[in-house]
Amino acid sequence: MLIEKKERVIMGIDPGTAIMGYGIVLEKGSKIELVSMGIVRMDHLDDHFLKLQRIFEKTIGLIDEYKPDVLAIEAPFYGKNIQVMLKLGRAQGIAMAAALSRNISVTEYAPRKIKQSITGKGTASKEQVAAMLQRLLNFKETPEFLDATDGLAVAVCHSFQRINTSNSGKSYSGWDAFAKDNKKRIK
C-alpha cells in the first residue's frame, strides 16, 4: 500500500509597525524546506492607519502568491510601553484578518515558545534563532533584518508542533479524555 505524503505551506509572521517579518516554508512529511522570507518596511510611513493598510495589503499579496495552508503569527509580548503593545496588537490583528479573509486558519505563538522550539532555549537571542534556522533549513545568506528570520521562526515553530504531536500517536479532545487514558500520570 502506497502512503501519500502530505504537504502543506506554512506562512509565519512577526508583526511590527515599523518592519513586519515573514517566512514561508513547505512541509513534506517531517521535512521542512525554505520557500521564501523577507520583510515589509513601514518605517517611512508616519500615519499608523497607513501602516495597518500596508500590513493588510502585503499579507494578502503574500497569501495570494504562496497559497499557505495556515498562518502562524507571533503574539505581542508585554513590554513597559502600553502604547507600543497596543500598536503591535493592531498589526497582529490586521495580519490575522487578512488570513481569515482568505479562509486560512491562524495559530498564535508566544515569543518564548518560538525561541524554545527553534533553539531549545526560550531566552535565545534573535541572532541565535537566525543561526539555528540557517542550519535547519540550509541557507547561507544572512537577511538584512532579523525580522525576516523571526517570521521564518514562527513558521518553523508551527511545523514542529505538528511533527511533535503526530509522533506521539494520540490526540485528545479535552482534559477528560486525556485523564481517562493517563490515570497513572495524574496524582
Binding residues: 14, 74, 147
Amino acid at 95: A
Q: Which residues are annotated as a binding site for Mg(2+)?
A: 14, 74, 147
> Hey, is 107 helix, strand or coil?
strand
Using an 8 Å Cβ cutoff, are 133 and 153 in contact? yes
43 is catalytic: no
Which residues are 10's β-sheet partners? 25, 70
| Ramachandran sector of residue 73 (left: φ over 0; alpha: ψ -120 to 50; beta: rest) | beta
d(CA 54, CA 75): 19
Catalytic-role residue among 108, 127, 147, 181: 147
46 is catalytic: no
Give catalytic residue positions: 14, 74, 147
